[in-house]
Each structure stands twice: as C-alpha cells, then as structure tokens.
Amino acid sequence: MSVEIKLSRYNRTYRPNEPLEGKIITKLPSSISHRGIHITVNGSVNLQVRGGSAGIIESIYGVLKPIRIVKKSFEVQPSGKISAGTTQIPFSVTFNDGGNGGKFYETFHGANVSIQYLLNVDVVRGYLHKSLSATVEFIVESELGNVLQFLYNQFYKCKELPFVTVFFFSTAIFPEKPISPEMVFFYITQDTQRHSLLPELKSGGFKISGRICTQCLLSDPLVGELTVEASALPVYSIDICLLRVESIMVGENIATETSIVQTTQIADGDVCHNLPLPIYVMLPRLLTCPTVFAGPFSVEFKVSILVTFHSELYNVQMKPDPRTFRKWVAMESLPLEVVQSK
C-alpha cells in the first residue's frame, strides 16, 4: 500500500504562475475508502547558524524560524473510494501568490540557507486508519525580467515620452542579442599575496595573469582564461574554487559563513609559460542560485583562482582550500554575481 507523486516534467523545474501538473499513483492490495485527496504546495527559506559562525549566539539561536514563501492547499478529489491495483489520478495546480510579498526565491541548497519547494499529497482515511502521504521536491526558477517587463509596459503606455526615449529604453531593456558576461582582468604575483610565501617564491617571483567572468547567468558556465607568464618554482596544480557566502541576521548581529561549493582543476603539473589556459566551469544548479540580498539573509558567491607550486615542505599535496593560507599556494579571489536563468 503506497502512494507517490510523478510530475509531468522530468527535470521538475517550474516558474511562478506555471501549472504544476502530474499524477498521483496509488498501489493498493485492496480497495479503500478515503475522505478526500489533498495536495499542498509548501515553499520556505530555512535558516540555521552552525559551525560557530556566530560565536555564543549560535548556541542560543541555532535553527531560526523558517520564512514562508508560499503555502496553498488544493482538493484533488472529494470523499470516495480508490480501487485495488495501480490507480493514476491526474492533477494540475498553480502557485502564484507568495506569502513573502509575492517574492519567489529560486531553489537553493546551502550550508546555512536552504530554499526549498515541496509538493505534498495526503489521502485522508479517517481516525482508525493512517493517511497515505507522499512528498516530492520541485525546483523553482524565478521569472526573468518580470520587473523589466513592468517598466517596458509603463514606457510604452506613456504617451508623453518622445519616441526616441521609448525606443532607447525598449532596446536597453530587451536587447536582441544576449548581454555579454562581465570580464575582469586579474594578476597574481608575489606582491599581491597577503600571506607569507616560500622564500623561493618571494625572491624568485612569479606572475600569473588572466581574465574571468564575474557576472554570469545561472545556466551559463563560468568562463575565462589564465596564463602563467613566469614562475621561480614549477606549478603543481591550478584550481578554480567556487565559494558561497551565506549571511543570516541573528538578533542584532549578522552571522556569516563561507563554504566551498566545488573545485575544478584546470591544470595538472607544470604548464607551458605564456600559453593561455581556458577556464570553463559549470555551476551546480541546486548548490547555487541568483545572488540574493533579502532582509533576514543573503547569499553571495566568490570565485578563487588557486595556484599551487611544488615544494619540499610536504610529501602529500593537500586539497586546495582558498580559506586556508599556505606558503606554497598563491590565490586571487573575486566576487561573482549570479543572475537569473534565461
């Protein structure tokens, strides 16, 4: 005796105002009576302070009260019976009214901040029988350009604006070609490091230059290039680390924690000097989201370039970590703004 939810979309990705369609599948050894089949859409932001990021406050607050985004219930079927065997009950619901001022945040699974949307089904069977329940998570992507669409409509409705002004805003808001990502040039030398380095690196020096995207769509890769121009020691590895910075308002204080999302190696071993190396990093969907600055919390991202050099101080290379300063590692960190998907 079981019940499950099967959504119509294989990737379970939806936008606000789109219908959630699927089937409720029951598998029963014999027919049962029920008092109604209900579906509930739940969306919330779950906040917790852990890892001592807030000091003494962490032990006082711990898990904070979730922020409700949406909660709506729908009746799929009134009281009746479900026959034995496998039964498929279709449903279609729409979630279009957020409890947080109509604001839908995109799905995100972080260390301290988790934005989750769940679809629950309950087959109510009365007092003497346990209800049949099932839960499935679906992914929410915000509507791209809903604010821009509002401005677009306002400008075109305004009769007093000259045509040139209207044309300028329409082309600026809705360009025909995609906006190119914002590229930032960077330089990594012994003089740009804020921690102590090996004497060989400090005296002999090194220079790594390149450019990397600091603003990109959630669905697009993080791209750029890197060139090792000179180095006193051979390069052991070059890695690109994606970090998330989660901040939570706890009382009158702000608890901030930085954690690693993923590390991508773009070079293994010593590389040819003056040869550009491509940077191509895909963003993990559930572990990243558009940069959020809300009242009680915020989610930001950083990208760090780590260059590890050969050294005789250790026998086993440790995993690269931009949060830990080592004498044989040079790094450069840049803020990364992630925007909504297409």
* Residue 322 main-chain phi, psi, to 5 deg: -70, -15
**pLDDT per position as a tens digit, 77-99:** 899 898 999 999 999 998 775 54
Domain assignment of residue 147, yes or no: no
Whole-number pLDDT of residue 174: 38
Spatial separation of the C-alpha atoms in residues 314 and 331, rounded to whole Å: 19
Q: Are residues 248 and 298 in the same domain?
A: yes
pTM above 0.75, yes or no: yes
Split into its structural domains, the chain has a count of 2
Of the candidates 140, 167, 192, which is a domain's last residue?
140
Of the candidates 140, 164, 192, which is a domain's last residue?
140
Q: Are 217 and 336 in contact (CB under 8 A)?
A: no
Q: Are 286 and 210 in contact (CB under 8 A)?
A: no
- Report the CATH number at residue 224: 2.60.40.640
Pairing of strands 206-217, 329-339: parallel
Which tokens is 164 given? 């040139």
Q: Which of 118, 130, 336, 157 is nearest to 243 (CA)?
A: 336
Which residues of the chain are under the pLDDT cut of 70?
50-63, 97-102, 143-181, 313-318, 341-342
Domain assignment of residue 216, yes or no: yes
Q: Are residues 99 and 242 in the same domain?
A: no
Q: Are residues 72 and 186 in the same domain?
A: no
Q: Are residues 190 and 334 in the same domain?
A: yes
Q: Are residues 110 and 225 in the same domain?
A: no
Q: Are residues 219 and 331 in the same domain?
A: yes
Q: Are residues 305 and 242 in the same domain?
A: yes
Which tokens is 20 given? 């959630």
Supply the range of the domain harboring residue 69.
Answer: 2-140
Domain assignment of residue 165, yes or no: no
Domain assignment of residue 199, yes or no: yes
Domain assignment of residue 175, yes or no: no
Q: Are residues 276 and 202 in the same domain?
A: yes
**pLDDT per position as a tens digit, 229-277:** 999 999 999 999 999 999 998 878 888 999 999 999 999 988 999 999 9
Of the candidates 120, 140, 160, which is a domain's last residue?
140
Domain assignment of residue 278, yes or no: yes
Domain assignment of residue 279, yes or no: yes
Query: Which residues, 6+ apart, have CB-to-CB distance to 51 below 8 Å?
Result: 58, 111, 257
Domain assignment of residue 122, yes or no: yes
Q: Are residues 200 and 100 in the same domain?
A: no
